[in-house]
Amino acid sequence: MERIISAASRLFAALGYDATTLVQIAEAAELDIDTVMELAGSKRELYLAVMGHGYTEQKALFERSLARIDESGAPQAAASIHALVDDYLDFCLNNPDISALLMHRWLGDAADLRDLEQIYNEPLVNSVFTVFNRMAEAGLIAPDADVELCVRTIAWTVIIFVRYATMSSPPAGFSQGDRTVARFRVHLHRVATGILGLAPTSPPETSP
């Protein structure tokens, strides 16, 4: 089953749900289609399994990262939020298919499968801004910060960056490998700091 999920994830990410067939998934998994259907069911069921697998992986990531949030002071809170942002960026870079699946949905892919965002994405967003709202109430985040939009802005930005950075022929500005990722990481920290009104970290971050 793991081999089928992996093959389906790659194809759904590359082609989208609508353009992918069970025959293609079976070929990519090096199995016959009857075996794929017996183990995974229909294409719809397989797509839901792929989305569910991505959700489970991200949920584990956020649980670990949020558990490490340090609310003992403003500098500690800022460093913790930066670490959370880093964890999410690293996860998406290591799992680019997840970003690709989300972007396909933004473009109308699998439109007949409704409410998947409410099932798989919103609980993750809610888990983060629940903690951020608590930090705002404690004075660790600016009281007028739009916490929800900050969380979504960082998520949207990371997803789009990862799609560009992992292209086979990325645009010129994204062709510098690790240096580009390092620049983007600093940029994300500054975005989070600015939107949330975080305390400065020491030493000040500079772009490589």
68, part of any domain: yes
Per-residue pLDDT of the chain (208 residues; tens, 9 = 90+): 889 999 999 999 999 999 999 999 999 999 999 999 999 999 999 999 999 999 999 999 999 999 999 999 999 999 999 999 999 999 999 999 999 999 999 889 999 998 888 899 899 999 998 999 999 999 999 999 999 999 999 999 999 999 888 776 666 666 556 788 899 999 999 999 999 999 987 554 554 5
Q: Which domain holds residue 149?
A: 50-196
Please say whether the beta carbons of 151 and 128 come within 8 A: yes
Three-point CA angle 62, 67, 72, nearest 5° = 130
CATH number at residue 55: 1.10.357
136, part of any domain: yes
With a threshold of 0.85, does the pTM exceed it?
A: yes
Q: How far apart are CA 175 and CA 8, in angstroms?
A: 28
185, part of any domain: yes
**Cβ-Cβ contacts under 8 Å for 170 (sequence gap 6 or more):** 164
189, part of any domain: yes
15, part of any domain: no
> Based on the structure, what is the number of domains in the chain?
1
